[in-house]
Structure 1
Amino acid sequence: MNATGPAGFWSYTHRDDELDRGRIRRLAEAIAHAFEITTGDELHVFVDNNSIAWGDQWRARLDSALTSTTFLIPIITPKFLKSQECRREIITFSSHAASLGLDDLILPIHYVDVPQLTADNPTDEVVQLISRRQWEDWRELRLEDEDSPAYRQAVNQLALRLKEILETPPPAGPITIPSSDSGADQPGFLDSLAEMEVSLPQWAKTVNEFGEVLNSLNQTTLDAASELQRSDASGGGFAGRLRVTNALAADLSEPVDRLTELGRRYSAELSRIDPGIITMIRMIGEGETTQEEEATARTTFDQLTAMIGASREAVSNLQGLSEATKVMASGSRSLRPLMNSIQTSVQQVVDGQTMIEEWARMIAELD
């Protein structure tokens, strides 16, 4: 679909739509109809988020004059937060929108209760992205009959919300990185590259530290497994197993705390430099830099590409740890809080990898 008018890209899990008997897709259609009857303009709705072209469509729109008429509408449910694809969509779209200064292009719909979304200081990266925006509460409305006055009124309000956003003047312009000779008081393109030169080694250090913590966790777990075998062999029974498990929980406390801190640091480092990197790549692609600036940026991008490979290996190892912790958590109450902390930290790294992979894709497209 090559739509040139306003467009809404629906991000949801197909299983949620199946469980709700197709109501999520019908809601998309109802909002599009309400928008058209209210404004007289068609709202193009893209709902096939399993299609590769789905992401290509909104990226193309954000890179064109259609930027301020392109919405991402994520349907927030517990399954949405567990879907790596849905998480990837909202993080990537948010990164591009932030680099353009257009945070209001994401309009979340809180469809099924997600307690983290209404909690103070959520730790989940995607929940943080959603909570910073004015999300629509549909937790009770989704149970209404689709022809009921309450439901139809809510659909109309959503259409009016989209209309209001479209009619609000956009910011003066996207995030810009001025040329280095544009004034002593302004950070220039090369100044931003200098910041990357500081940030990238910090990022590499964090990736290496993940490896160290992972080795510590693995060794501690292996030692506990050996102790468990000795206890079983000596007839320790369930009491012996409980003793070993409780000791393992105590031994894991310090490395899990370290992993938690690394997860926070990793997410913060990438979030800080993400808009600048996307903007620099976009400026080079559009020929808005000098030859010297482009040459310097490409050297930095070469370093970045090498580090992306290292981060992929770290993420793969951490995902293996996450899967193992799910099994351990199911068998021990004393281990469950620690295992949950590990899975939260791993998810932060996986979410960060989404930003990194988008850099890699955009850098590759420069060539």
Structure 2
Amino acid sequence: MNTIGPAGFWSYTHRDDQLDEGRIRRLAEAIAHAFEITTGDELHVFVDSNSIAWGEQWRARLDSALTSTTFLIPIVTPKFLKSQECRREIITFSGHAASLGLDDLILPIHYVNVPQLTEENSSDEVVQLISRRQWVDWRRLRLEDERSPEYRQSVNQLALRLKGILETPPASGPIAILSSDTEADQPGFLDSLAEMEVALPEWAETVQEFGKVLESLNKKTQDSAALMQQSDARGGGFAGRLHVTNELAATLSEPVGKLTELGGRYSAELSRIDPGIIAMIRMIGEGQVTQQEEESAREIFGQLTEMIAAARDAVPNLRGLSEGAKVMASGSRALRPLMNSIQTAVQQVVDGQTIIEEWGRMIDELGGSGAGC
């Protein structure tokens, strides 16, 4: 890519920008102008997040000497958290940045109130990623006149913050994936491979367990629908329907609890090792490992590719479950907490799929990845 110098990639929903009469894109432009007049250097702003080239450009920068001058600026709103594309962008960028020890490159702007962002112990992976960073509060400022002194001063402060990040060395360096003969007390390359070797069967088992729980939930829901038809036939009315619904809520408690456990386990484990796996794949691409280490890694990558495909096949069924749960939650107070838990668990799996799909993309770029790649 020919673009050099600092660059900011804006992650936002176009609908939010439309609803706010283009103020989100104008904010991007205002910050770029404030940065340039403050530093004398141009801040390249990329706002077309729907373009394939958008993702390719920031990935290319993170893989080059431009790494420490590449920012992701998520504009956080309720629609942002509901957008799978926006979620994918922040999860993927975060993994790459963390693998390089550059977490400060993500600068979230809290644009419209998202209650989860100020709550503790959120199970939402994207909310966790945002909460761990010092996000900028723009919830009140977005209602101010863009020409007002307060608004202009806040824009300038944001530009100065970007300038400060560029001038401050990262708190930590890249993830250390050392060669197996290194004696330092840090995980070696083969240690990371061994961790992957253990994790793959566990992930496959989790996906299979999801399938079993899904079957159980479907059966219980179908049985409930049959009971409701019988109640209607007897003239049970709304009282009969409510009774069936309450019984369904009681029977769903156990499988929904299991689904919640599986979702949390799946998402947490993938997030934990994501930076290390990205660093490991990058090292192979840069020729920083021995031939034996590379051969071992490519064998594991073949298994990983098969796992990605298996998980990908399961996602549509889980999405269907989530949509069904949303409908049921809107119609029954007794079922609502359980249905919300189902939607949360499904989102965790979908977010986890984003992580492993990125591994698959990087493995494919290596070429010749062995069986299954």
TM-score (norm 1): 0.98
Which residue does the alignment assign to 1:235? 235
Structure 1: runs of 5 or more not aligned: none
CA contact (8 A) 1:203 1:269 kept: no
3-state DSSP of counterpart to 2:73:
strand
Using the TM superposition, name which of 320-329 and 137-146 deviates more.
320-329
**Offset, 1:172:** 6.0
Which residue does the alignment assign to 1:73? 73
CA contact (8 A) 2:176 2:187 kept: no
CA contact (8 A) 2:102 2:172 kept: no
CA contact (8 A) 1:116 1:122 kept: yes
d(CA) in 2 for partners of 1:186 and 1:360?
26
**Offset, 1:173:** 3.3
AA of the residue aligned to 1:340: N
* Structure 2 counterparts to residues 265-344 of structure 1, below 5 A: 265-344=265-344
Q: Paired residues, what number?
A: 367
Q: Percent identity?
A: 81
CA contact (8 A) 1:8 1:44 kept: yes
Structure 2: runs of 5 or more not aligned: 368-373
d(CA) in 2 for partners of 1:188 and 1:242?
58
* Structure 2 counterparts to residues 218-229 of structure 1, below 5 A: 218-229=218-229
CA contact (8 A) 1:5 1:43 kept: yes
Which residue does the alignment assign to 1:18? 18
3-state DSSP of counterpart to 2:74:
strand
Post-superposition CA distance 1:56-102 (Å, at most 9, x none): 00000000000000000000000000000000000000010011111
Does the C-alpha gap of structure 1 residues 252 and 7 become closer, same or farther in structure 2, counting only changes over 3 Å? same
**Offset, 1:310:** 1.0
3-state DSSP of counterpart to 2:9:
strand
AA of the residue aligned to 2:25: R
* Structure 2 counterparts to residues 50-199 of structure 1, below 5 A: 50-171=50-171, 173-183=173-183, 185-199=185-199
TM-score (norm 2): 0.97
After TM superposition, where is structure 1 displaced by more than 2 Å over at least 4 residues in a row?
A: 170-173, 184-187
CA contact (8 A) 2:32 2:45 kept: yes
Which residue does the alignment assign to 2:370? none
CA contact (8 A) 1:144 1:151 kept: yes
d(CA) in 2 for partners of 1:46 and 1:203?
36
**Offset, 1:199:** 1.4
3-state DSSP of counterpart to 1:210:
helix
d(CA) in 2 for partners of 1:366 and 1:82?
33
3-state DSSP of counterpart to 1:38:
helix
Cα-Cα RMSD: 1.1
Does the C-alpha gap of structure 1 residues 184 and 113 become closer, same or farther in structure 2, counting only changes over 3 Å? closer
Which residue does the alignment assign to 1:210? 210
Which residue does the alignment assign to 1:352? 352
AA of the residue aligned to 2:80: F
d(CA) in 2 for partners of 1:281 and 1:290?
13
d(CA) in 1 for partners of 2:77 and 2:181?
49
Post-superposition CA distance 1:192-222 (Å, at most 9, x none): 1111111111111111111111111011101
d(CA) in 2 for partners of 1:289 and 1:60?
22
* Structure 2 counterparts to residues 22-41 of structure 1, below 5 A: 22-41=22-41
d(CA) in 1 for partners of 2:335 and 2:351?
24
Post-superposition CA distance 1:211-261 (Å, at most 9, x none): 111111011101101111111111111111111011001111111111111
d(CA) in 1 for partners of 2:184 and 2:51?
47
